[in-house]
Structure 1
Amino acid sequence: MDDLDHKILQLLAENARMPVKDIAQRVSLTSPAVSSRIHRLEQEGIIGGYTVVLRHPGAPARVEALISVLVDAATRASFLAMIEQEPQVLQCFRVTGSYNFIVKVSCTDIDALEHLLTKMQKLGSTNTQIILNTQLDRNLALD
């Protein structure tokens, strides 16, 4: 990846729907050259997809949390099957350290979070951090 690729990725991270023509003007390339670069970045897996992040004005606040989970090998499959069925689970990371998973959740309220924790604690031990706010959100890591 060169500097132009980085600039294109930054522009797409700001607005994934930015027309190729506009990107081309901002990076001083032709539209076909930008299209070719975007296609290559997609093929190489650097661009993993495009998404819409929905923000619902007036929607009730949600409780987001990071839950560190320690499950033994015997319950790992059950744990993964359980979290896959839970719509409030946003992400699950396999990690090193004292716990073997970190699960990011978004629950409707504290009661829903407690209910989810109870289900997880039947399969392993947990440690929960409630997210108060987001200080930095990089949807696309640019090296």
Structure 2
Amino acid sequence: MTLDDTDKLIIKELKNNSKITMKSLGKKVNLTGQAVNTRVARLENEGIIQNYTIVVDQKHLDCNIHAFINIYMHKISHKPYLEFINKQGRYILNDYKIIGDGCYLLECRFPNNNHLNEFLETLNQFANYKVSTVL
């Protein structure tokens, strides 16, 4: 499916505010609410728009330590590591599979050093790591 300029503008507006009403979105892209609703439904059905999300300021969740953790795998199989990561969702903002320095790059937020240390101790069962924290 090829996106036209209106589709791209709809996506841009939804990225800025996914709670916008179809009527308001239509005004921004010069369509009626019904016409923009039809386009949004088509974008969803085609899999171009897949999810609507929120962004939470982690500082308000008492997550004061922002860390990037380079992961170096012990073994060829990454399955145990990935299962561990899936269970630690409350701390992990992003888990990137990378090429270069390491196998994965975790972006995490922790309430304090104790939580970070507990996480790292358990992580060490699956992989080696190098931690960088944001000042």
Range of TM-score over shorter length: 0.7 to 0.9
Say what the alpha-carbon RMSD is for the aligned residues. 2.2
Identify the residue that residue 140 of structure 1 maps to in structure 2.
Answer: none
CA contact (8 A) 1:75 1:123 kept: no
Which of 118, 121, 134 matches 2:121? 118
1:21 partner SS: helix
Q: 1:58 to 1:73 in 2, by over 3 A?
A: closer
In 1: Cα distance, 2:39 partner to 2:77 partner: 45
Shift of 1:105: 1.4
What does 1:53-92 align with in structure 2 at a 5 Å threshold? Answer: 53-55=55-57, 60-74=62-76, 76-86=78-88, 87-92=90-95
TM-score, length of structure 1 as denominator length: 0.78
**Consecutive unaligned residues in structure 2, runs of 5 or more:** none
**CA 1:62–1:96: 2 relative to 1, 3 Å:** same
TM-score w.r.t. the length of structure 2 is 0.82
Equivalent in the alignment of 1:109: 112
Residue 97 (str. 1) matches residue 100 (str. 2): yes
Runs of 4+ in structure 1 off by over 6 angstroms are none
Structure 1 counterpart of 2:26: 24
Deviations 1:6-56 (A, max 9, x none): 211121111111111111111111222211211122122221211233448
Identity %: 24
What is the one-letter code of the residue matched to 2:40? I
Of residues 84-93 and 1-10 in structure 1, the stretch that sits farther from structure 2 once superposed is 84-93
Matched with 2:14 is: 12
Q: What is the identity, as a one-letter code, of the residue corresponding to 2:91?
A: Q
Aligned to 2:36: 34
Aligned partners of 1:8 and 1:124: how far apart in 2?
A: 42
> What letter corresponds to residue 105 of structure 1 in structure 2?
C
